[in-house]
Structures are given as C-alpha cells and as structure tokens.
Chain A
C-alpha cells in the first residue's frame, strides 16, 4: 500500500515536472484558421490574446496543445461536460464538440438550437441565424449568452482542491484518534490549522465568539491558498482569478457577518448613537454602503486582481522568449525570461499565501466587528 502510494506520487511529480516547461510555452495560434487556443505564437498581439484567453475560464481541460509538422493541431487534455440553461431548457453535451474553437466559428446544434463559443462564453444563436455575425467592436449581433452551469476548468479545480482538502484534513482528524501528535504530512497541516485559529480567528473575533467561525475561516483559508498555489502549477488553474469564485467567497463572508451581527452592530450602523440627529441618516448611508458593498467588493476585487495580475505577469515574462527573440537572440531571450519568471514565480508563491491570509484575516476582522459586544458609551 505504502509503495503503491509512493509510486503514484512519483508519477504525479514527474508528470507535473514534464508539463511545467510545455504548458505555458505553447501559446495560441490564430493563423490556423479557426483554431485559436494553442499552437505557435510569435507576435505581441498573439501573446496578449493567449494570456487573456488563459486567465478566463475554459470549457475543456487542456494541458497543452501543439501543431505537428504536417500542420495538424494536437491537443493534450480532456473535454469537460457543458451544461447550459437555454431558451428551450437544459442542454448538455461535451465541450469537444466545439473542437477547441473559441471565436464562434464552430456551431453546435442540439435540441434544434445552435450554440457557439466566443471567448470562453457560450452563446445561443437566434433561430434564423446560421452563423455568428459580429459588429465593429467584436460583439455578437445575432446571439445571446446562456446561463452556463458547465463543469468548466474552474469547477474541476474547485472539485479537485475540495477533495484534496477533505482527504488531507480528514486524515489529520483521524490521526488524533490514535495518537496525540500527528505524523507524516499531517504534521505539516497541524501548525497551519493552529496558525489560522490562533493568529487569525482568535485575535480578530475574540475569545468568546471565535469558535463558531473558525470552521469557515479555516476552509476559506486553505481553499484560497491551495487554489492560488495550484494556479502556479502547470495545471494552469485560474480559479481564484475568476470573479465568480471570488465574488462567491466575498458574499459568503458578507452573509456570515450580516447574519451574525449583533443588535448593537446594526444599531450603530443605522442609527448611530451619540451623534446629532441630522447627521445620523448620512452616516447610516455611508455605513451601510461600507458594510454591504465596499467591504465585500474590496474582498472580491483584491483576490481576483492579485491572482489575475500574477498570472498575467508570469506569462508575460515567459513570453519574453518570443517577443524579444529578435533583439536578444534565442539564448538571451530565453535566459532573461527564465530568470525573471523564476523570481516572479517565487514572489507569486508568497502572494498566494498573502492573499489567502488577507482574505481570511479581513473576513475575521469584519466578523469580529459584527459580533463584538458594543458598549453603550463611546
């Protein structure tokens, strides 16, 4: 059993190491007709398009793709199911039916409806249309977006990390049944749990209430951290760089601190005592906007922007390999890009932790503000 586990780990590590160099290097190729999510990239515009494509969610899990010498496109990865809510109800099919097309030229027909994928979004074509037409600003004129519940790459990432966390921490929990001090990998996890509890939850929420919220804070901390880190692996997840995911996390925090807010917290917000009555409504508006909009908005935007920016910077530095090839030569450009991207990746590892820490810390702080016992005087 132990040997089997070790060999699985070894294979995984080797696979990861193999993909490291290839995944980011293979960049989209728009010269190849309608294939534009992989292939050879040379110009600045192609690099930009590829990066912007990467930081979006995608409907198939492609590790890398390349163009063979015969000009044939090869994709390494697997398709994911598409589940969409259309004007005719729920429609499901595999994303492979789009044949990796991302600019709306491949039309998939299901249940008498036509679908196209444009910039990682699935559009439903109007009844009479047979192909997507675009206006000058590259907006589709005869198609509209559908509600997309697909198992996208981000959802796969969430599921993967969710199972990983469950596996790790339930094992840690099990270890406590037989021994006082965990052994192996669980020993690494224990101080992290203690760190979140003692450095984030306890001081910000207070000794009295922290127990109720520690579960949420721990989950969020490890969820964000592991997803941030997985974004740095060649798997190429950008889950915490999806507005929907960070928005979801921020709204969770908003709901938690709004629901658990004490009477004093709400009273101070809506009808601030100790202030002239005329100023109170003004203050109420400011406070409400702060608590219900600005706090969650800053939470969601910070995480999203940091992680997206990190991905853009790392990939841009890797792209130096192509963009500066002419002025620095192959060796110079590759060396420069290697050195720069290496150090920026190190910084990104720090940022991955820091963003998880800040998100959890601010969540704890907001919760602490909501549940603390307000004294009547100021």
Chain B
C-alpha cells in the first residue's frame, strides 16, 4: 500500500485529467457524434429499405393472388356459360323433337281421319251402288219372277235370309 501511494503522482493525475477531459470533449464533438449519427442514419436507411422490399414482396404476392383469383373467376364463368349453352341447346333439341312428334302425330291423325272419312264415303258409295245395283237386279228379277205367287214367296224368303246374314 505504501509503495502504491508512493508511486502515485498527483501532478500526473492532474495533467491526465485535463488531457482526458479535452480528449473526451474533442472526440465527442468531432468523431463520435457524426459517426454515431451517420451509423444510425445508415441503419435506419437499411431498415427502411428492408421494410420497403418486404412491402413490395407482399404487394407482389397480393397481385399474384388477385390475378389467380381473376383467372379462376373467368374460368368459372366460362364453365357456367358453357353449361348454360349446353342446356339451352339440349332444351332446343328436345323441344324440336317434341314439336316434331306433335306435328307428325297431328298429321298422322289427320291422315287417319281423312282415310277413315274416305273409307266411310267409299263404303257409302259402294253401299249406294250396291243398293242401286240390287234394286236394279231386284226390279229385273221381280219383273221376271213375280208372275207366280209361289216364286214370289220363295224369293222374299231367300232375300231375307241374305239380309240377315249380311
């Protein structure tokens, strides 16, 4: 302890104190302040740049997502339009078929009706002709055969038989 105190030089202590105070003041003014300020400026600049890059990346991602969504929507729309078109087409075909069926059915019916009609009228004609013919035949026969009573009866009976058979 004694040697320690003996070694201690108060003069050197005083001189060092003054020099150190001056050194600290000068260093703070001319070195540390500008250095630390520019370092902080640089760091905040880097941080800002990083944040900006991150933002840009996110925006890009958003844009991409949007694009994808748009494409999906467009695809869905196309799909639904196609579906609709297909349905319309199918319906049109079906309708057409139905119509055609109806029309043909009507035509057939009409044809059948007219055929029936024709048949009826033909039949009526034939009947009329047959009646006229048979009347004619009957007239002639009657003219010839109605001389005897017996023959007359026989004839009538024969005719009646035929009629009922008819």
Contact = CB atoms under 8 A, between A and B. Distances in A.
**Direct contact between A and B judged by beta carbons closer than 8 A:** yes
Interface stretch (A4-12, A243-251, A331-339, A345-353): A243-251
A154 B12 contact: yes
Given A155-B19, A247-B13, A248-B17, A215 B28 contact: yes
Interface in A142-195: 147-152, 154-155, 158-159, 162, 165-166, 169-170, 172-174, 176-177, 180, 190, 193-194
Contact of B30 (A155, A166, A193, A252): A166
A121 interface: yes
A247 B23 contact: no
Given A150-B11, A215-B32, A252 B20 contact: yes
Interface string B63-76: 00000000000000
Nearest to A151: B15
Interface in B28-82: 28, 30-36, 38-39, 42, 45
Interface stretch (B2-10, B129-137, B142-150, B152-160): B2-10
B3 to A, nearest CB: 10
B111 interface: no
A57 B9 contact: yes
A302 interface: no
How many interface residues does chain B have, given as a range?
Answer: 20 to 34
A271 interface: no
B37 to A, nearest CB: 8
A162 B23 contact: yes
B27 interface: yes
Nearest to A169: B31
Contacts of B32: 169, 214-215, 218-219
A268 interface: no
B26 interface: yes
A247 B28 CA distance: 22
A7 to B, nearest CB: 27
Given A219-B32, A243-B8, A244-B12, A169 B42 contact: no
A75 interface: no
Given A243-B7, A244-B13, A172 B20 contact: no
A211 B27 CA distance: 15
Given A147-B10, A197-B36, A243-B8, A248 B16 contact: yes
A56 interface: yes
B24 interface: yes
Given A173-B35, A214-B36, A215-B33, A158 B19 contact: yes
B32 to A, nearest CB: 4
A120 to B, nearest CB: 9
Nearest to A193: B35
Interface of B: 4, 7-17, 19-20, 22-24, 26-28, 30-36, 38-39, 42, 45
Interface of A: 56-57, 84-85, 121, 147-152, 154-155, 158-159, 162, 165-166, 169-170, 172-174, 176-177, 180, 190, 193-194, 197, 211, 214-216, 218-219, 223, 242-245, 247-249, 251-252
3 tightest A-B CB contacts, nearest first? A169-B31, A176-B38, A148-B11
